[in-house]
Structure 1
Amino acid sequence: MTKNTDSRNPKILRTRRLTVLSSIAVLGLAAIVGGPIAFHQLNVPELSSLAQAAETAVQPESTAQPAGFADLVARVKPAVISVRVKIDEPQPTASSDEDGSPAIPPGSPLEKFFHDFGSPNASSGHEVMIGEGSGFFISADGYAVTNNHVVDHAQSVEVTTSDGKSYQAKVVGTDPKTDLALIKVDGQDFPHVSFADQQPRVGDWVVAIGNPYGLGGTVTAGIVSAEGRDIGAGPYDDFIQIDAPINKGNSGGPAFDHNGNVIGVNTAILAPSGGSVGIGFDIPATTVKVVIAELKDTGYVTRGWLGIQEQPVTADIAAGLGVKQAKGSLVDEAEPGSPAAKAGVKPGDVITAVDGAAIKDPRELAQKIGGMAPGTSVTLSVLRNGEPKDLAVTLGTMPAERQAQADTGPGSSAAPSKEQNLGLLLAPADQVAGAGEKGVAVVAVDPDGMAAEHGLQAGDIILDVGGKAVSNPDDVRQDLAALRKDGKQAALMRVQSVDATRFVAVPLGHA
C-alpha cells in the first residue's frame, strides 16, 4: 500500500507536503491631486502648459513595469530540488485468535468469509510510505540541505532538479534537535546557493521556493514577519517567521533574501485549517551553517551539556524566591553526576548569566550551552537564596535521547491529611504505593482550589516547600505557616511529577 505522509500536530505542521492555491491580484492607482484653480486668472497658453504637465505626470504610471523577483528566481531556482523518500514501516495488525484468524464473534456473517478467503492480517505487516519534501544544493559536488523530518527513517532518497533530472541521494547526517539534515548526490557542477551572513530584519522581502504537493519548483514571496519564535518544537527553537506562503512539501526548501542568499530553511507552518494561513517558520541561516558544517565533518552534532532540569521564572515564582525580576532559568534538578551537579548547582538556583552574558529564560540558556563544545569551561552566575554566586562548570557531552520514565499513579495506603487553604489532600510519600521514599504525596486536589489553579495534580510529590525538605503533611503545613508569618505572597514548592521535577509557586491565602 502506498500513501503520502506528513508529520503534524494540531496547530504546527512540519511542511513535508502541500501547495499554494491562492492568487495574487496587482492593483494600480493613478491620481492627480490639486488645489482649487481660479480659471479667470489663467490664459490659454497657461492652460495648455497645465494639460501637458498633467499628461507627462500620468504617462509613467501607465507604462512603468512593476518590480518583481523574476531575475532572482531565474538565478537561484536551479539549486532548489524536490526530495522524495521511501519508508518501509511495520504496521500493527488487528487483534486475532491464536491460529492467526481475526477475532470474529461465532455465528457472525463474516465468519464463513474469513474461513474461505483467509484472514485480513495475512499480509507482511509492512506499509510502504512515500514522503515528499524540498531541499537545495550548497556545493557544486552535490551536498544539499533538507529537513530531518523529510528523510527520517528513509530507506531511499531521490532528488529531482528543476530541469527534471533525478538522482539517488544518501543521507550524510541528521540533527533532530534542529530538524536539519545533510544529503549527498554523486556528481559535479551542480548549481548551488550560499547562506546569508546576517540575520534578516523584520519587514525584509523573502522569497520561498519548494515542492508543495509534489508539484516542484513553486515560488512564493512575502516578508519577514518576526524573529526569535518559539513554537515548542524543541529546546533550540529560534525560528524566523515569514508570511510567504509555504505548505506541506515545502519542508527543507530555502527562503531567500533579495540578494539571492538563503536566510532560512522552511520547516513548519501554523495550519489550523491544514494548509498555509500565511504563518511559516524557518530555521535561521546562522544556525543552519553551524549544524551543516558539523554534519559534513562527522555526520552528527555534539553539544555542550549542563545536566539540569529547568523552568522559566514567572512572576509568581519570582515572588516565592524573593527576587525582583522574573528573568533567568530556575533549576528544578541537577542530575546526579552531571557537570552541573559536580560544580555545585542546586535545585532552586536561578541561572542569570553564562560567562557574563545575561540569560533571559531556559530556551536562551539551552541555546547558549548547546552552541558550545563539550569540555568548554564556563562561569554560571546564579542567585541562591537571593544572593549572587558564581560557579565554574566544565561542560559535558549531551547524552543520546533518553526515554521518559514511566510511573504509575499512587494508591493511598495511609490516612491523608488536608491542607485546607491550598485545596490539597496529602500523605507521606513512603506510605503511598508507588510514590517513592521522599517527600509528600498529593493524594487529591480540590479542582476549585488554589493548588489546582497553579498546576498541582494528584500523583505529584512535594519534595520541599520554601527551600525546606518535607516528609509529611505536618512539615508542609508548618512551612506554609512560616511563609505566611514572614509575609511571603507565594509558596515555592519543588514538585516531582511523572516525567520531571519542577517548581510551582502557589499564592498563599490567609491562615
Structure 2
Amino acid sequence: MTKIPFRPLPFRFSRSVAAFAAGGLLAFVAAQADLSLISRSNAAPATVAAASAAAVPGPAAGAPLAALPDFSALVEQVGSAVVNISTVTLAKNSNVSGINPNDPFYDFLRRFGIAPGMGSQQPQESRGIGSGFIVSADGYVLTNAHVVADADEVAVKLTDKREFKAKVVGIDRRSDVALIKIAASNLPTVRIGSPDRLKVGEWVAAIGAPFGFENSVTAGIVSAKSRALPDETYVPFIQTDVAINPGNSGGPLFNLKGEVVGINSQIYSRSGGYQGISFAIPIDVAMKVKEQLQKTGKVQRGRLGVTMQPVTKELAESFGLAKPVGALVTGVDRSSPADKAGLQPGDVIIALDGVPIEEATDLPRKVGDSAPGTKLGLTVLRDGKRLEKQAVLAAMPSETAPQARGESAGGGRVGLAVRSLSREEAAALGSSGVVVVGVNGPAARAGLQEGDVVLAVNNARVSSPAQLKELLDQAGKRFALLIQREDARLYVPVRTD
C-alpha cells in the first residue's frame, strides 16, 4: 500500500459533506449519492508541441486532421435505456428508550404489564442516488452493488419520467454488481459489447446522473485495460479518463458503436472527487454475475485455498525464473483443494489449465470464474522443477456467511435473523435468548441492532430461534421485544402493519 499514493473510492457520497452545500449543490447533495461520471473541462485531448520537427514529422501538407467523435447519434440511440436509481435506507437507532404515552401502542404494552417509557426515537432516513441500465425488455436492470446494498427502498426512474419500485434480485459485493427488477414490459434495452475488443486510446462515453443531473453525457478515452486494484480480487478494471462524479455509479460505459462495454464503478482520488482516473467493470464480468443472480440470487465461485503474493524481479531470480511471472504461494489452507493437491508454501503457480498466469491477480480471477467442483490443472515450479498438479475446487464462502448462519424469525415479516446463544454467551448472560445477526424492515425501523439479544416477546421468554419464530407468528402486527443490549435491558415496540 505504501507504493500507492491514493486509493480507489467507490462512488459513494454523503449528504453530510458541507463543502458541496457551500458550492450551491445542496439540493442534490441532500441525498447520499453515488459517484458518477460525466463532465470534462476539455472535450478533446490537448495536442503537445513536438520538441523537434525533424524528430516528430508533422502531417503532410493539406492532409485533413482527424475529426473528433460526435456522440449525439449514440446518445439518441441508447439514452432511453439508461435509468436513474434512488434509494432509501433506514438508519438503525443507537438508542431505544421507549415510546410516547400518546402513542396508541402505549396502552397495548401496558396491558402486558410492560413499562414502555418515554421518548422513542424515530429512525433516520438516508437517501442515495445512482445510475443503471436496462438489460432486458421485461425490466431487469444492472447497477453497482454499492448503489442498492442495504437499501430498504429502491426506485427506478426512466427517461420518459415513469417511476417504478424496484426489487433487488441479488447483489455481488465482490464484483460490485447488482441486478434489480421493475414491473414493466417492452422497455428499451442496451446492446452488450466486447471489452476484449477495446483498445487503449479508444473513445468511450458514459450516461448517468451526476449530482442528480439526469441523463448527463460525458466522454473520454480508454487509458488502460485489466487494471488490478487494491482489495479488488475478481475484476480486471477498464481504466478511463471519463469524469466520475456522485450519482453515476452503476451507469453504462459505451463504445462508439453504442454497445455497453463496462459499468462505471470507482475513481482513484486523493480528494474524493474526480482527478482524471476512473474505473469500469468489464461488461463480460458483469453479465456472468447477472446470469447467476437472475437464476439463484447469488454468485458461486470456486475456491483453491491458498494465500499468495506477486513475484517480483528479485523473487524471480531467487526461484530461478527467467522473468517475474506467476503467483507465489505463501500459505495453504488445511484440507483445502490446494492442500489436497499437494501445494506448498514457496510453490510458484505459473499456469492454470495450460493458460499462463502472468500476474498473481490472474489466479483468483480465473479460479473465481470456475464453478465449485471444477477440476483444474496447476503448473507449479518447486525448487526449480516443473510439477503438474490437479485440484478440485471447493465453493467460496458466501460474503453474507455470518447472516446465513442465522434463522429468519417471523417468516420474513419482521425482518429479523437470529441465532442461538453459545454456551459461553448464555453463561455470561445468565439467561436464555437468541442473538440478532441481521435486521431490516420493521425490525430495523424499531431500532433493533445486530448483536442485540432477544430475551422475550411481550412477556413470553425466548430460548431458541424456533421458539422466537413461533411466538412472533402468534404475536400479531404489534408486539414488544425484551432485549439485552450491552449492560442494559429494554423493551422495543415493533409494528409490522
Shorter-normalised TM range? 0.5 to 0.7
Deviation track 1:120-146 (CA, whole Å, cap 9, x = no partner) reads: x95637431111110000111000100
Q: 1:130 aligns with which of 113, 119, 127?
A: 127
Q: Percent identity?
A: 41
Q: Point out where structure 2 has 5 or more consecutive residues left out of the alignment.
A: 12-33, 47-61, 99-117, 403-497
Deviation track 1:84-114 (CA, whole Å, cap 9, x = no partner) reads: 11111225469xxxx99xxxxxxxxxxxxxx
Alpha-carbon distance between aligned partners in 2 of 1:359 and 1:18, rounded to the nearest angstrom: 34
- Letter in structure 2 aligned against 1:219: V
Alpha-carbon distance between aligned partners in 2 of 1:337 and 1:125, rounded to the nearest angstrom: 49
Deviation track 1:188-246 (CA, whole Å, cap 9, x = no partner) reads: 01111121035211111111001111121110011111111112142113110111212
Is it true that 1:13 corresponds to 2:15 in the alignment?
no
Alpha-carbon distance between aligned partners in 2 of 1:19 and 1:377, rounded to the nearest angstrom: 41
- Residue 421 of structure 1 is matched in structure 2 by none
Q: 1:177 aligns with which of 174, 191, 197?
A: 174
SS at match of 1:136: strand
SS at match of 2:194: coil
- Residue 52 of structure 2 is matched in structure 1 by none
- Residue 212 of structure 1 is matched in structure 2 by 210
Alpha-carbon distance between aligned partners in 2 of 1:131 and 1:296, rounded to the nearest angstrom: 24
Contact 2:87 2:153 in 1 (8 A): yes
- Residue 83 of structure 1 is matched in structure 2 by 85
- 1:463-482 to structure 2, matched below 5 A, reads none
Is it true that 1:202 corresponds to 2:204 in the alignment?
no
Contact 1:90 1:125 in 2 (8 A): no
- Letter in structure 2 aligned against 1:391: K
Q: 1:358 to 1:25 in 2, by over 3 A?
A: closer
Q: 1:143 to 1:275 in 2, by over 3 A?
A: same
Deviation of 1:156 after TM superposition, in Å, equals 0.9
Is it true that 1:139 corresponds to 2:127 in the alignment?
no
Alpha-carbon distance between aligned partners in 1 of 2:347 and 2:43, rounded to the nearest angstrom: 56
SS at match of 1:326: coil
Q: Which has the higher contact order (CA 8 A, sep 6+)?
A: 2
Q: 1:308 to 1:25 in 2, by over 3 A?
A: closer
Contact 2:37 2:218 in 1 (8 A): no
Deviation of 1:74 after TM superposition, in Å, equals 0.7
Contact 1:17 1:249 in 2 (8 A): yes
- Residue 356 of structure 1 is matched in structure 2 by 354
CA RMSD, Structure 1 to Structure 2 (Å): 3.1
- Letter in structure 2 aligned against 1:167: F
Is it true that 1:373 corresponds to 2:375 in the alignment?
no
- 1:362-441 to structure 2, matched below 5 A, reads 362-401=360-399
- Letter in structure 2 aligned against 1:299: G
- Residue 160 of structure 2 is matched in structure 1 by 163
- Residue 475 of structure 2 is matched in structure 1 by none
SS at match of 1:72: helix
- Letter in structure 1 aligned against 2:268: L
Is it true that 1:189 corresponds to 2:186 in the alignment?
yes
Alpha-carbon distance between aligned partners in 1 of 2:147 and 2:298, rounded to the nearest angstrom: 17
Deviation track 1:137-176 (CA, whole Å, cap 9, x = no partner) reads: 0111000100000011011100111122111000111111
Is it true that 1:152 corresponds to 2:152 in the alignment?
no
Q: 1:17 to 1:354 in 2, by over 3 A?
A: closer
Q: Point out where structure 1 has 5 or more consecutive residues left out of the alignment.
A: 1-8, 29-56, 101-120, 405-511
Deviation of 1:66 after TM superposition, in Å, equals 7.2
Q: 1:211 to 1:27 in 2, by over 3 A?
A: closer
Q: 1:275 aligns with which of 258, 261, 273?
A: 273
- Letter in structure 2 aligned against 1:70: S
- Residue 336 of structure 1 is matched in structure 2 by 334
Is it true that 1:290 corresponds to 2:288 in the alignment?
yes
Contact 1:208 1:246 in 2 (8 A): no
Alpha-carbon distance between aligned partners in 2 of 1:333 and 1:347, rounded to the nearest angstrom: 5
Alpha-carbon distance between aligned partners in 2 of 1:383 and 1:257, rounded to the nearest angstrom: 41
Q: Calculate the TM-score normalised by the size of structure 1.
A: 0.62
Deviation track 1:429-478 (CA, whole Å, cap 9, x = no partner) reads: xxxxxxxxxxxxxxxxxxxxxxxxxxxxxxxxxxxxxxxxxxxxxxxxxx
Alpha-carbon distance between aligned partners in 2 of 1:230 and 1:83, rounded to the nearest angstrom: 28
- Letter in structure 2 aligned against 1:283: I
- Residue 306 of structure 2 is matched in structure 1 by 308
Alpha-carbon distance between aligned partners in 2 of 1:19 and 1:263, rounded to the nearest angstrom: 15
Alpha-carbon distance between aligned partners in 1 of 2:155 and 2:169, rounded to the nearest angstrom: 14
SS at match of 2:243: coil
Alpha-carbon distance between aligned partners in 2 of 1:27 and 1:203, rounded to the nearest angstrom: 11
Contact 1:310 1:333 in 2 (8 A): yes
Contact 1:18 1:214 in 2 (8 A): no
SS at match of 1:236: strand
Alpha-carbon distance between aligned partners in 1 of 2:392 and 2:252, rounded to the nearest angstrom: 37
- Residue 242 of structure 1 is matched in structure 2 by 240
Report which of the two structures shows the higher radius of gyration computed on alpha carbons: 1
Deviation of 1:399 after TM superposition, in Å, equals 1.5
Contact 2:40 2:242 in 1 (8 A): no
Contact 1:355 1:378 in 2 (8 A): yes
SS at match of 1:272: coil
Deviation of 1:19 after TM superposition, in Å, equals 6.8
SS at match of 1:235: strand
Alpha-carbon distance between aligned partners in 2 of 1:306 and 1:376, rounded to the nearest angstrom: 10
Alpha-carbon distance between aligned partners in 2 of 1:75 and 1:172, rounded to the nearest angstrom: 27
